[in-house]
Amino acid sequence: MRILHLLSQLELTGAESYAITLAERQIECGHRVFVVSDTLNMNTQAKYLRLEFNKRGILDRYNHIRFLTDFIRREKVDVVHSHSRASSWSGHISSRLCRTPHFTSVHQILPGGLSKRFLPCLGDVSFAICENAKKAIIENYGFPPYRIKVIRNAVDLNRFIIRELPGGELNIAIVGRYSGPKGKVLIWYLREVISKVDEKVKPFNLLIVGRQVDEIVREVENISSCLRACRLKQLGFVDDIEKVYKKTAIVIGAGRVAVEAILSGRCVLALGERGFLGLVKRENLYDMERSSFGDCLFEDEFNVDFAVNETIFAIENYMDIINHKRKLVEKVKELHDAEIIEAQINDVYRRLLHKRGQQS
């Protein structure tokens, strides 16, 4: 097949990691893959073309659609797969004009509205990364449940493997994207939780990993000056995230960060855009997965006392937690194996192509 992935981001996002992991697996399976996006931060074998989806004026949208329709027809694209709201709008219209199947992946709780019910732009089939994202699509967009499938973040199991714990000082990493709401979550965790944990535990390093935002950097510096046991270190964006997991014992994050860290054999505290869910265990894995580890909750869940207690417990018991993680790791592999997920998505592609008589 000839597959076109559409993205719209100005920095590395979970959607980009998802799309590129999927694209690489599709290429390994013999498909021709293209990626169109504002920017691209990850390396890929797919052919990349730049298009500024984040420019959303009427003339900009017209130019996006014209570019995509010309490209789809010229390259004889079989499938269009969008990974963001901005790209799915143009992808929806372009694919309709070209009579090409359109699929979307939804990575968050999408807010509703009358215009979105009238023109949802969610494609012929929508892939939700978790059950809560699916529920929001149904309730906020009125989208038929039979056209939505829960297909979780795809992760390369050859890349993220269990590694020995590092010696020396305890390193904890908090990993994410710190523009927008996630920056506010980081500051909440440092100010409300770490400041209290700091009084009760032995010294440790807290590595803050993600693209630096000036306002957040200044806030972190101010908080750091008031801490005793916790040494905050702002690493900024790290291209090779495996190196971060390799030198840490505890990882704090949500979405694919939580999944990658579990697969790397690390103790994981789920802290997402909408809440702190605590220590990830085999017993609560499915509850964590429903919200993509705290990113896709319908109401905010930031309980300071719970967060403090869970963080202290992780710091004091991380060795035992890690030594008993094998069943958790095996279950996460089953849910997030890129090879399995590519096959599931490919099957949906082919069924619709076959139905339309366009199988290539």
Residue ranges of the chain assigned to CATH 3.40.50.2000:
2-154+337-356, 171-335
Q: Going residue by residue through the chain (360 aa), what tens digit of pLDDT does each one get?
A: 999 999 998 888 889 999 999 999 999 999 999 999 999 989 999 999 999 998 888 999 999 999 999 999 999 999 999 999 889 999 999 999 999 999 999 999 887 765 566 567 899 999 999 999 999 999 998 899 999 999 999 999 999 999 899 888 999 999 998 888 899 999 999 999 999 999 899 999 999 999 888 999 999 999 999 999 999 999 998 988 999 999 999 999 999 999 999 999 999 999 999 999 999 999 999 999 999 999 999 999 999 999 999 999 999 999 999 998 889 999 999 999 999 999 999 999 999 998 887 554
In this prediction the pTM is 0.92
CATH superfamily assigned to domain 171-335: Glycogen Phosphorylase B; (3.40.50.2000)
Find out if CATH 1.10.10.10 is the number for domain 2-154+337-356. Answer: no
CA pair distance 269, 310, nearest whole angstrom: 8
> Which two structure tokens, joined as six digits, stand for 59?
């003339």
CB 190 within 8 A of CB 220: yes
Q: Residues with Cβ < 8 Å from 27, sequence gap 6 or more?
A: 33, 45, 46
